Structure 1
Amino acid sequence: MTGAIPAAASLYERVRRVIPPIEWPAFTDDIDAILALKRERNAVILAHNYQTPEIFHCVADIVGDSLALARKAMAIDADIIVLAGVHFMAETAKLLNPHKTVLIPDVAAGCSLADSITPADVRLLRQRYPGVPVVTYVNTCATVKAESDICCTSGNALAVVESLGAPRVIMLPDEYLARNIAAQTRVDIIAWKGHCEVHERFTPGDIRELREAHPGLTVLAHPECPPNVVAEADFAGSTAAMSEYVGRIKPARVVLMTECSMSDNVAVEHPEVEFIRPCNLCPHMKRITLANIRSALEQNRHVVTIEAQIADRARQAVERMLAI
C-alpha cells in the first residue's frame, strides 16, 4: 500500500528511548488528529517541561519552564493557544495574549502553591508590613498576581528581588524558594508557608541514598526543594537551568530532583547521559493528556477567562517581571 506516512509515525524515532514500542500505538491517533487540528484552527500548543514526552516532543510548538512560556507567549502568531500545563500557566498566557483564545484541556489541573494563598492573604500582609514590596511567584492565580508589585519565576527570582532596590521584600507563596533565594542575597525576605507537593517530598536522605547506589552521580535540584536538599545537591536551578546544565556539562550520570517527566524530556536530547529517575509525579500536570488536548481543540474547551479589572493589574505584575 502506498500513500502519505502518518505524521505520528515519523515522530517515534525522537522518543523511542523514553516511550516503549508497545505503548506508542496508543498515542498515534491522537497525535495525528492534534497535528491536523492545529493546522485547521491556527492553534499552537505550549507545553511545560513537566509534560509527558508524547506531548512535549510530539505535539507541542513551544516548550520550556514557566518563564520561557511566559516570554514566548507574547510573540505567538495564532488564533488559539492550548496550554499543556496547569491553570495558572494558562492564565498567564491569557494575560499576555488578551485577544487570543486560550484553552486549558482540564480545568482541574491546579497547583498546591497557587492553592496556598489568596488575595486576602496578600492584603493582610501589606497591612502588617506597610511599604514592603510584594514579589509573587508565577505559580499563583491571577487574582493574587493582581495584588502584587511584580512576579518572578524560579529562574529569575534573585534578579527580581534585587531589582527592587528595597532592603526588605515579601516573597510569596513558596517558602522554600524564598529561603533558597534569601541565602543568596542581603535583602531581608519575608516568606509565606506554601509548598510544592512534588518538591517538598524530596529529602537529603534521598540524595545520599542515590549517591551510594549510583557512584559518580551528579545531583541537580529545583529551588522549590527544601534548603537542606538544595545544600546536598551539586547544582540548583529552574527546570530550564537544569536542562542547560545537562547540555553544557554532560555529566555521565545525573538525577534531577524535580517532577518525573522532566528527566524523560531532557533524556531525549542527551542520549549520552544516564538519567537516574526518582519518580515524584505532579498529579495536576498529569491531568493533561493527548486525549484532552485533542478534545480541547475539537470542542473549544476549556476557555480561560479573567475579569478585566483583575487582568489589567495582574498583567502589570507579569510585564514588570518580563522587563527585567
Structure 2
Amino acid sequence: MTPNIIEAKKNLNQLGYLNLKVDEKLDLVAEIQKLKKEKNAVILAHYYQEAVIQDIADYLGDSLALAKKAAQTDAETIVFAGVHFMAETAKIINPEKKVLLPDLKAGCSLADSCPPAEFKKFIDQHPDHIVITYINCSAEIKTLSDITCTSSNAVQIIESIPKDQPIIFAPDKNLGKYLIKETGRDMLLWEGSCMVHEAFSIERLLDLHKKHPKAKIIAHPESEEPLLKTAQFIGSTSQLLKFVKEDKGEEFIVATEAGILHQMAKEVPNKILIPAPSNEDNTCACSECAYMKLNTLEKLYLCMKYESPEIILSEEVIEKGRRPIERMLSIS
C-alpha cells in the first residue's frame, strides 16, 4: 500500500471519501467495468444518482428494488451508489459480503431527522405500539423497529397489521400523513421529513402548470400535503416511472428528486418531462439531493479500486436490524 493510499484512508472519517488524484486520461467507465469482473462486484444505484452512474450500474432502482437486489446478489462485493442508509441496509442483509459506498458523507436529511436516542424515548412512551419505519432511516433506527417499509410497499405493510394494533410510523411525517389517508389507520407519527421533497414551491408549481395546462402533475408521497393535493398521481420513484411509461399523457410535471428524469427520458423519449420547481434558486430550478450527488464517477472508481470506504456494522446492529427488513421482504 503506497503512502498516498495510507494517508487517504486516514482521512476517510474527515472527508468521507478517498482523496486521491485520478488520471484525467483514464477511461473511468472502462476501468470500473474491469474492476467489477476482477473483484466479483455488483453496482447498485438509485435513480437519484448522476446520469453516468445510473448508466454504469448493474441494477438501477428505488429503495425497495435495491433492497431486494442486495438480498439476491451472488457478488462478493456490493458497491452502493446511493446514500448511507441504503448501503447499511445492504450490509445488514449481506453481513458476509463487503459493502462499499463511494462517499461516507452521502447521508440523508430524513434519516438525520430521527436521532436514535430520542426515537427510543418516543417508543418507550408508547409501549403498546408496533413500530413501522420507512427504510430511509439509519441502521440504529432499524434495530428499534418491528418492521420496515418503502414508499412502494408501505400501504401493503400497514394493511398487514391487525386493525386493533396501534402503530408508530417514522421518520417521515409527510409520508405518514399520506398513508393515514390511504389506509384509514390513525398512526402516531414521528416529526421527520426529507428536505428534498419539502423544497418544492406550490406557488411556482401552479404557475408552471398554467404554462403547461396539459401536463399531469405526479408526485412522491414524501412531498408536503398542498403539493400532493394538486397531483394527478402519487407514487414511489419506481411507480412514477411506471406511470409515465403507461399513461397516455404526453406531458408530465415530476415532483421528486430530479435524478429520476434521466431514466424517464430514456424510457419515454417522446414525452415531455418537466421537473417540479423548488424554492431554491439553483441551476436546474428543480429539487436535487445534495447527498445523492456527492457520489461521483471518480469516487466510484477509487472506492472499487481500493475497496474503501467500506460499511462496517456491529454484529448486534446487523442481527437486530435484519429482522424488520426480512419481515418487510417476506410481506412484499
TM (norm. structure 2) is 0.87
Quote the residue 2:172 is aligned against: 174
**C-alpha offsets along residues 165-212 of structure 1, whole Å, 9 cap, x if unaligned?**
144211001010000111112211111111101000113323311211
Structure 1 counterpart of 2:155, which letter?
Answer: L
Runs of 4+ residues over 3 Å off in structure 1: none
> Which structure 2 segments of 5+ residues have no match?
1-23, 277-285
Residue of structure 1 equivalent to 2:250: 252
**1:101 paired residue among 77, 98, 102:** 98
In the alignment, structure 1 residue 230 sits paired with structure 2 residue 243: no
Number of residues of Structure 1 aligned to a counterpart in Structure 2? 298
Cα deviation for residue 251 of structure 1 reads 2.2
State the distance in 2 between where 1:28 and 1:231 align. 49
Change (3 A) 1:292 1:299: same
Equivalent in the alignment of 1:14? none
Matches within 5 A, 1:96-245: 96-167=93-164, 168-245=166-243
Cα deviation 1:79-105 (Å, max 9, x = unaligned)? 111000000000001111111100000
Give 1:128 shift: 1.6
Counterpart of 1:316 (choices 303, 320, 323) is 323
- The aligned runs of 1:32-71 (5 Å cut-off) are 32-57=30-55, 59-71=56-68
Which residues of structure 1 form unaligned runs of 5+? 1-25
* Cα shift at 1:158: 1.3
**1:250 and 1:273 in contact (8 A); partners too:** no
Tell me what 1:74 maps to: 71
The alignment yields a C-alpha RMSD, in angstroms, of 1.4
Aligned equivalent of 2:295: 288
One-letter amino acid matched to 2:301: R
TM-score, normalised relative to structure 1: 0.89
CA contact (8 A) 1:207 1:219 kept: no
| Alignment match, 2:274 | 276
More displaced 10-residue stretch of structure 1: 26-35 or 86-95? 26-35
Paired residue secondary structure (1:311):
helix
User: Aligned partners of 1:27, 1:127: CA distance in 2, in Å?
Assistant: 57
Residues 197-233 of structure 1 show CA distances to partners (whole Å, capped at 9, x for unaligned) of 1000113323311211112011110000011211111
CA distance in 2, matches of 1:158, 1:282: 25
Which amino acid letter does the alignment assign opposite residue 103 of structure 2? D
